Amino acid sequence: MKILIVDDDPAIREYLEEVLNLMGHTVVSMKNGYDAIDYVKENDINLAYIDVDMPGIDGFETQKKIREIDPKVSSVMISGNVVDRLLKTPIEKGVFVSLEKPFTIEQIEEINKAYEGIRSPLEFIYDNRFGFDPEKLIGAKILIVDDEVEIITVIAEYLEGEGFNNLETANNGEEAIKMFNMKEHDVIITDIVMPKKSGMEILRHVKALSEYSQVIIITANADKDTAITAVKLGAYDYIEKPLDLGALSRIVKRAVEKKLLLDRG
C-alpha cells in the first residue's frame, strides 16, 4: 500500500516510516496537515496515519480535507489518549481505527492487514468518482511491456475482460520507447528488468516527454527496492510478481483516472 504519515513528532514519523517500509509499503511522511493536504492533491495514497494533536491544523481537520480530495482514503488516527469521537466515527467518514500511543509493531501490522481486507470494496464504491465519460476510461491508451510473452498475454486478456479496448504490447524497453514516442500512451505497465532498456529507463523517458502519463512497475521481490525508488521518481505504483490481476486492474483504473483528471486540468 501507499501510506501517508502525518505527525509533527519526528521520532514518531521516523519510527512509522521504518516499520511500514519493512512491511513492504511505500511510505511518505509529512510534519503537518498543510503539507499532507497538498501532497494528496497531487498524489494517490491508500491509507493515512494522522496524529490528532498538531499545531496549525489538527488531525481531524487534516483527515476531513484529505477525504474531500480523495474520498476513498481512510485514516488511522493517532492520539496520546483515546478521544471519544474517534471511536464513534464510522469508516464511511474516513476513520478506519484509532491508535493510542505508545503503540506496537504488532498493532500496526494488524491494522494494515485488516484494512487490506476491506480496501477493494471501499474502492469499488468510489469507481468513476470524477464522473468521466466511461468511453474515455475504457478507451485509455495502455501499453504493456514485458520480455515474457506469457505475462503480457495474461495481463492483456484480463484487462480486455475488464473492458479496456485500446491495449498495445512490447517485448522490450527499446520497442516500448519507440511505440510511446508515436502514441504517448496514458498508462504504461512495465517490468523493471528487461533487455535493451529497463523499466526505469522507460519511466524516465515517459516522464520527460509526457508528465501526465502514468507508469505502473511490475517487480519481482528481489527488485522491490528499485520499484520503490521508481515510485519516488514519479511512477504511479508498483505491483509484485506473482501478479494479483484484480489488484493490477484496480491500479490501472486509478492510473487512468489520474491521467484524465490531469488532462482535464
Domain ranges within the chain, ordered by starting residue: 2-125, 134-264
* Confidence label for 185 from pLDDT (cuts 50, 70 and 90): very high
The segment with the largest mean pLDDT, out of 30-34, 62-66, 103-107, is 30-34
Q: What is the pLDDT of residue 93?
A: 54
Q: What is the pLDDT of residue 133?
A: 81
Mean of all residue pLDDT scores within the chain: 85
The kind and range of the H/E element at 169 are strand 167-170
* Confidence label for 81 from pLDDT (cuts 50, 70 and 90): low
Residue with cell 505504483: 237
Q: What is the pLDDT of residue 123?
A: 53
Angle 59-69/33-42 helices, nearest 10 degrees?
10
Q: What is the pTM of this model?
A: 0.58
> Helix, strand or coil for residue 88?
coil
Q: What percentage of the chain has pLDDT greater than the value 90?
A: 42
Q: What is the pLDDT of residue 160?
A: 92
The kind and range of the H/E element at 216 are strand 214-219
The three cell numbers locating residue 234: 514519479
* Confidence label for 92 from pLDDT (cuts 50, 70 and 90): very low
The kind and range of the H/E element at 95 are strand 95-100
Higher pLDDT, 216 or 249: 216
Q: Which residues contact 73 (CB under 8 A, 6 or more apart)?
A: 40, 45, 46, 47, 48, 66, 67, 94
What is the average per-residue pLDDT within 196-225? 90
Q: Which residues contact 221 (CB under 8 A, 6 or more apart)?
A: 240, 241
Specify whether the CB–CB gap between 230 and 217 falls below 8 A.
Answer: yes
Name the nearest CA neighbour of 74 among 45, 117, 43.
Answer: 45
Residue with cell 486509478: 254
Q: Which residues contact 135 (CB under 8 A, 6 or more apart)?
A: none
What is the average per-residue pLDDT within 183-192? 96
Q: Which amino acid is at 76?
A: V
Specify whether the CB–CB gap between 38 and 32 falls below 8 A.
Answer: no
Q: Distance between CA 57 and CA 51 in Å, rounded?
A: 11
Name the nearest CA neighbour of 176 among 212, 213, 150.
Answer: 213
Name the nearest CA neighbour of 204 among 182, 186, 230, 180.
Answer: 230
Q: For residue 120, give Cα distances in angstroms to 20, 69, 124, 155.
A: 20, 19, 6, 19
Superfamily of domain 2-125: Response regulator (3.40.50.2300)
Q: Is the pLDDT of residue 15 over 80?
A: yes
Class at the top of the CATH hierarchy for domain 134-264:
alpha beta
Q: Do the domains at 2-125 and 134-264 have one common CATH topology?
A: yes
Higher pLDDT, 256 or 94: 256
Q: Is the pLDDT of residue 181 over 70?
A: yes
